């Protein structure tokens, strides 16, 4: 049996939506992007969501919107995908890394120690789709002594009056925290529609606007983000196609980060069936794994649901008790030999060259390292039936027994 790690979910509805887009005569940013924004907003309970060409772009644009720049610090987890750190570096600021907890997410108790007068934002990441503790995080950024240390420079920083919480929700579309969907917790939250994510547009992202109201006008923030993600141009290509409307202005040195309609079409057709089909299917697979591994005391299954949160089941991050990094690698080799593709989420950033060369040391992030060293991500997607799930569990059990 050959089981791929994360094939995209493509059915007839998705093909039809893409074909209709091709036939419509309009393939870049247009009505389908607007429809996707509206659907994400509906599903998260927000009024304004702005799509862009990747979560990476969205995170960077939002840091720029907040005026984060050279000399500033942004707190991020050491245990995440590199994009969380790179966006901070791209705008000239310094990523300040914090170790994770046993649930893979940033350890909020340790965040406090790393806040300085230069801290402008925190980027929590809902690793594997498991929400961070947002109540604890907001208590922290709102604490009088933490607010007192915040040094606002730009207009938006003055209006917010505290550290911005920019949620990297690349994994957590569909997850909930305290009964409310992810997207409605951070000041902003950014979903990723990359090909391996729960909902995809091949490449793409969505910026959810959830700043305090009425301090901020969400409609105005939305317009700004759309303008800045399309060269700062007052009219998009669709608006200009109507003959007499050719004249436009460039009012801001914006970026080119807009999502094309041809991509939005894929996401639109997927998202329509995400809450009722694709997400429950992921949950089915996760629960089948949890049941299958329940008899093995060496298998630690990831957090999925408790009193306050439920995962989006993006990654099934299995951990094996007490093994070394080398033993984990050899388990992966044995599992792969029988046709099952697995993965590791994530290599903590300090072990990657670009961060090591900038002075980050893995020794400072022992929990992140131990999560990484013992972790194997198993395939999880709607197309996995019980036979395949049993085959995967069997492959892991056999590999472990042969260690």
- Which is nearer to ligand PLP, 168 or 281 (by Cβ)? 168
Residue 222: CB partners within 8 Å, gap ≥ 6? 48, 49, 50, 209
Residue 385: CB partners within 8 Å, gap ≥ 6? none
- How would you classify residue 92: left for phi > 0, otherwise alpha for psi between -120 and 50, otherwise beta? left
- Which is nearer to ligand PLP, 77 or 292 (by Cβ)? 77
Provide, rounded to whole angstroms, the least separation between the CB of residue 184 and ligand PLP. Answer: 19
Provide, rounded to whole angstroms, the least separation between the CB of residue 125 and ligand PLP. Answer: 5
Instruction: List interacting residues with ligand PLP (CB under 6 A).
Output: 54-56, 80-81, 83-84, 125, 168, 170-171, 192, 194, 205
- Which is nearer to ligand PLP, 56 or 231 (by Cβ)? 56
- Which is nearer to ligand PLP, 265 or 299 (by Cβ)? 265
Provide, rounded to whole angstroms, the least separation between the CB of residue 144 and ligand PLP. Answer: 31
Bond before 346 cis per omega within 30 degrees: yes
Provide, rounded to whole angstroms, the least separation between the CB of residue 201 and ligand PLP. Answer: 9
- Answer yes or no: are the C-beta atoms of 208 and 189 closer than 8 Å: yes
Q: Edge-to-edge strands of the sheet including 180-181?
A: 180-181, 176-177, 309-310
Distance between first and last Cα of the chain: 22
Provide, rounded to whole angstroms, the least separation between the CB of residue 346 and ligand PLP. Answer: 8
Provide, rounded to whole angstroms, the least separation between the CB of residue 251 and ligand PLP. Answer: 26
- Which is nearer to ligand PLP, 105 or 224 (by Cβ)? 105
HSE-CB at 307 with a 13 A cutoff on CA atoms is 0
Provide, rounded to whole angstroms, the least separation between the CB of residue 392 and ligand PLP. Answer: 22
Give me the numbers of helices (H) and strands (E) for the chain, helices first please: 16, 13
Give 3-state DSSP helix, strand, coil % of the chain, rounded to 5.
Answer: 45, 15, 40
- Which is nearer to ligand PLP, 85 or 299 (by Cβ)? 85
> 31-44 vs 261-272: helix axis angle to the nearest 10?
30
- Which is nearer to ligand PLP, 197 or 283 (by Cβ)? 197
């Amino acid at each position: 049996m050959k089981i791929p790690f994360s094939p995209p979910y493509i059915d007839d509805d998705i093909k039809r939506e893409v074909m209709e887009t091709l036939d419509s005569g309009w393939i870049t940013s247009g009505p389908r992007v607007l429809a996707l924004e509206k659907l994400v907003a509906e599903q998260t309970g927000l009024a304004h969501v702005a799509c862009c060409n990747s979560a990476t772009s969205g995170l960077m644009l939002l840091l720029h919107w907040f005026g984060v720049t050279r000399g500033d610090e942004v707190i991020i987890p050491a245990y995440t995908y590199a994009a969380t750190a790179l966006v901070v570096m791209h705008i000239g600021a310094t990523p300040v890394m914090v170790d994770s907890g046993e649930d893979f997410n940033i350890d909020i108790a340790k965040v406090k120690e790393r806040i300085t007068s230069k801290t402008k934002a925190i980027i929590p990441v809902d690793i594997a789709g498991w929400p961070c503790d947002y109540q604890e995080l907001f208590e922290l950024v709102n604490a009088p002594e933490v607010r007192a240390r915040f040094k606002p420079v730009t207009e938006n920083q003055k209006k917010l009056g505290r550290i911005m919480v920019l949620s990297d929700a690349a994994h957590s579309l569909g997850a909930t925290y305290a009964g409310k969907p992810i997207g409605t917790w951070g000041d902003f939250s950014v979903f990723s529609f990359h090909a391996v994510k729960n909902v995809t547009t091949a490449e793409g992202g969505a910026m959810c606007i959830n700043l305090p109201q009425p301090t901020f006008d969400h409609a105005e923030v939305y317009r700004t983000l759309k303008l800045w993600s399309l060269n700062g141009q007052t009219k998009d290509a669709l608006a200009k196609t109507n003959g007499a409307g050719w004249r436009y202005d460039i009012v801001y040195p914006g970026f080119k980060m807009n999502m094309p309609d041809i991509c939005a079409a894929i996401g639109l057709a997927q998202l329509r069936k995400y809450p009722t089909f694709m997400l429950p299917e992921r949950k089915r697979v996760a629960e089948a794994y949890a049941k299958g591994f329940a008899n093995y005391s060496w298998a630690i299954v990831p957090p999925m649901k408790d009193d306050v949160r439920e995962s989006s089941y993006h990654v099934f991050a299995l951990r094996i008790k007490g093994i070394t990094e080398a033993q984990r690698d050899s388990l992966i080799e044995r599992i792969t030999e029988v046709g099952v593709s697995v993965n590791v989420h994530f290599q903590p950033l300090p072990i990657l060259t670009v961060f090591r060369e900038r002075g980050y040391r893995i020794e400072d992030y022992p929990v992140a390292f131990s999560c990484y060293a013992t972790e194997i991500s198993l395939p999880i997607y709607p197309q996995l039936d019980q036979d395949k799930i049993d085959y995967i569990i069997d492959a892991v059990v056999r590999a472990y027994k042969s260690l």
